[in-house]
Amino acid sequence: MSAAEGDFDTLVDLIYQGALEEQPWQGALPALRTVLDAQVVSLVLRPPSDDDRGVILNCVRPDPEHAQGQSALADPGDWEAKAYREQFFALDPFVNLPLNRVVALEDILPDRELMASDYYLHYLQPIDLFRILGVDTIEPGGMLARLRISRRRSEKRFGKTERSLLERITPHLRRAIQIYAKLNRTTSERDIYAGAVDQLSVATIILDEQGRLLNTNALAKALLEEGDGLSLKGQHLIIDGRDINRELQQALTVIIRAQQERATSLVKALRIPRSAGRADLGLVIRPVPASERSEGQASPCAAVFISDPDLKESASQQILGDLFELTPAEANLAILLSRGLSLAEVSETQHISQHTARAQLKSIFAKTGASRQAELVRLVLKSVASLA
């Protein structure tokens, strides 16, 4: 059995692990480069374009004189990667390969033609690359992965052993890319929802089946660090005051137990008193919908949502104007009214006369369909302007 064949299992393990690594495939690409005795191994997950640098992961054979301290993957700012993205990707003759088929550059372009091409003269030759073996594969969601293995001109051509190994790992690479793509899509969706919650000025705390802290958003983290009314003891949420804290712990116990038993549980709401001069926090505890496949104490079980009346709504003036065709001055007036200011206070803070403020409010009523100030405030608070 050849060295390449003997390392197959290790390569497959690293390929799947790569989908989970913080720097994707930082273990698999160096291992593949070593097994195939290559100068460079590249994985293109998103091709570059005029306004997108793309995602290109490169592993280059270490310079023996400077090998110590070199990272597993090359810096995306290195000349080779930067030049390829910005100048030479459009000239690359080795793109759009037949899916899941291992192809060598020499299979589609004779050496003589390659050596006469601008791509070779201005890109491959300066970095001393000549032999290239590649495969393209696509996962069900549409992410296309291009794997390229490169050697110098002085090195031997890729043979049957290298081609066979690449063919065998391609199905595993495709499934690993699918895992990577799904994780990235899930993360993107989660970040969108988390960002919307942050924009609505709602602090969020996620607890596990033991009532221990799993995660918080930035607002919740700030509240817990402040420790005014609500804080952490160990990894458990507590409220200042024995009676109200007992009520919180009982509510958490009921909700978590109901989740563990797959039973229906109620949503619990509490008011959390704070130091003098500060408004009470509003707190809601609700169960996290459980997956039948989620097991273990690290699974999300309860969500705690907290509102702080002292935080001002951050509706966007521009978006509010776009929604209701308001002028900048009218949108600003509507936002200030939604924050609790009276018309007289708005006039004073904005240095306009009350006559002007009343005229702007009348125009806002006509454009939004609101007939009363309270109705306008509700319209602003419930609009999507705060999500901008």
> Which is nearest to 31 in space by CA: 165, 163, 153?
165
Q: How confident is the model at residue 323 (pLDDT cuts 50, 70, 90)?
A: confident
User: Is the whole model's pTM more than 0.85, yes or no?
Assistant: no
pLDDT in tens, 205-247: 999 988 999 989 888 999 999 999 999 998 999 999 899 999 9
The larger pLDDT score, comparing residue 379 to residue 356, is at 356
Domains and CATH numbers, the chain: 3-189 (3.30.450.80), 203-307 (3.30.450.20), 317-387 (1.10.10.10)
Per-residue pLDDT band for 77 (boundaries 50, 70, 90) equals low
